[in-house]
Structure 1
């Protein structure tokens, strides 16, 4: 498949303050794209933008806030004149058994990961239609093989996969291409935050190879960039993920059977998993929501 040169293209990346989003912004900028970073951590976004080699800007916005994202989309188009690529990357995670989970954190995972993806698409589709551009939704192995102790994350990533596939059929006649990006465990603040919990780290270590490994972000981001250049319908950040598509019908049952055995082995320890969002990004999200709550109370 032919590749689209990124030089001069305008790319929007949500969740760009850290992790895959930050590295993706750097990689796109290095290839000559003009990059718009969108996220909650304004100071961190400013720092990331300051280190990019090409033209860029940063916008503070919660991806679940339709008004904020619509304003960001308008300002980005005013700044750069067009939008060619949008990567819906923003995401948070929480772990542990459903019955012991924090209901607020559980709901927030779904809101950011799934509702935030739809809000992002709604805000930028007019610009992408004008440019006949590309929308890449970042999903996960969790969409292909949902696992115990990750109900909110797996539900949200299964949801965004279905959302993107559905959206593809809606906008193809407008010239907009839609892709889904799949990642396994990648060395980011989110994964490291989850690994701080002994039970979650143990559960992940019991997964079969190669799903039990943590992968470096560099090669994963390079694969995502190559997918963006090709406007691919499916982008696999780790080489072996492509093969899971052919057996995905069997994976939920297999994972449930193996997971049930592990859960029995954990016993009461399963309930000791830390509640709330994980990693530095999760902490930033909780801090922002707390700040807005205090502002509303005052």
Structure 2
């Protein structure tokens, strides 16, 4: 890797770093010589990742929706490392199922974490990146490129963070900060495995056209994200075919919301009705951790 495309010696902050994409990205960037600040809700898991990577990796427990805490963490990271060169806003949660069946608090929490949590993260860390003329990578999703039934909260939040990051790029580019958006399709993480525990949702996804119906391995997806961090890329595609989706994204709402969508929802309706009572919470281990943290906070 050339000196223009290296993270060696750079200080990189990753939110949502306890598991999945965040934890694997920490491993890859550490292997490339980065110094890492890991931020997340799960202290034991964060500590385990940090211990695996060594003394140049430090972790902070924080809820990304807590602006005061995120600002404190940003100051502490600069105090520990002297600067911040890159920030990967990766923290995210998901829920699935029909909008009208959704628990309102769970639905709203997805928007809060994925969109407003990214806003709070940017508010805390962009001043530090202005000082270093650094790089901000916002992790979005295939869900930002195409709507999907049963994923209204996730799609809305990811479309929101994509647009938010594009707006930031225009605002801070002349001051030396590069802003990128990262896109992933269904990738083998706790979140996706948790979503697949729902039989109806899993069968709906299996009926999607290729390549949308595949679950992609984590390691190569994260290698591409790490390459994007090193290059300070404006767009980072964890699966190469996602680049092609940009050219057709304007047509997708009509396709998804047209005859195909109506056909698939009609087919799924009996199964959805039979399982509505169990489809209420956040999916995956990360979602469970967020629910536990919220319950603990409410009890105090």
Partner of 1:286: 291
* C-alpha displacement of 1:53: 4.5
User: What displacement does 1:89 show?
Assistant: 0.2
Q: Distance in 2 between matches of 1:92 and 1:3?
A: 34
Judged with a 3 Å threshold, the aligned counterparts in structure 2 of structure 1 residues 147 and 2 are, in CA distance, closer, same or farther, namely farther
Match of 1:270 in 2: 272
1:3 Cα deviation after fit: 3.7
CA contact (8 A) 2:106 2:281 kept: yes
Instruction: For residue 59 of structure 1, give the secondary structure of its aligned residue in structure 2.
Output: strand
Secondary structure of 1:145's match?
A: coil
1:29-68 map, 5 Å: 29-53=30-54, 55-68=56-69
**Equivalent residues, number:** 295
* 1:155-203 Cα distance to aligned partner (Å, 9 max, x none): 0000000000001001111110000000000000000000000011011
TM-score (norm 1): 0.97
- The residue correspondences of 1:204-283 to structure 2 (distance < 5 A) are 204-257=205-258, 258-271=260-273, 272-273=275-276, 274-283=279-288
Looking at structure 1, the residues matched to 152 and 141 of structure 2 have their Cα atoms a distance apart, in angstroms, of 13
Q: Secondary structure at the match of 1:76?
A: helix
CA distance in 2, matches of 1:277, 1:57: 28
How far off is 1:253 after superposition? 1.1
For 2:144 and 2:4, the matched residues in 1 are separated by 27
CA deviation map 1:203-258 (0-9, x unaligned): 11111100100000000000001111111100000010000111111111112222
Aligned alpha-carbon RMSD (Å): 1.2
User: 1:87 Cα shift?
Assistant: 0.2
Q: Deviations over 1:39-86 (max 9, x none)?
A: 000111011100014611000000000011000000000000000000
Displacement of 1:2 in angstroms is 8.1
Please give the secondary structure, in 2, of the residue aligned with 1:249. Answer: helix
8 Å contact from structure 1 (residues 29, 54) kept in 2 = no
Map 1:124-139 → 2, pairs under 5 A: 124-139=125-140
1:24 deviation in Å?
0.3
Deviates more, 1:48-57 or 1:187-196: 48-57
- Provide the rounded CA distance (Å) in 2 between the counterparts of 1:83 and 1:6: 12
After TM superposition, list the pairs within 5 Å mapping 1:143-222 onto structure 2: 143-222=144-223
Taking structure 2 as the reference length, the TM-score comes to: 0.96
CA distance in 1, matches of 2:211, 2:225: 19
Matched position secondary structure for 2:79: helix
Shift of 1:270: 2.0
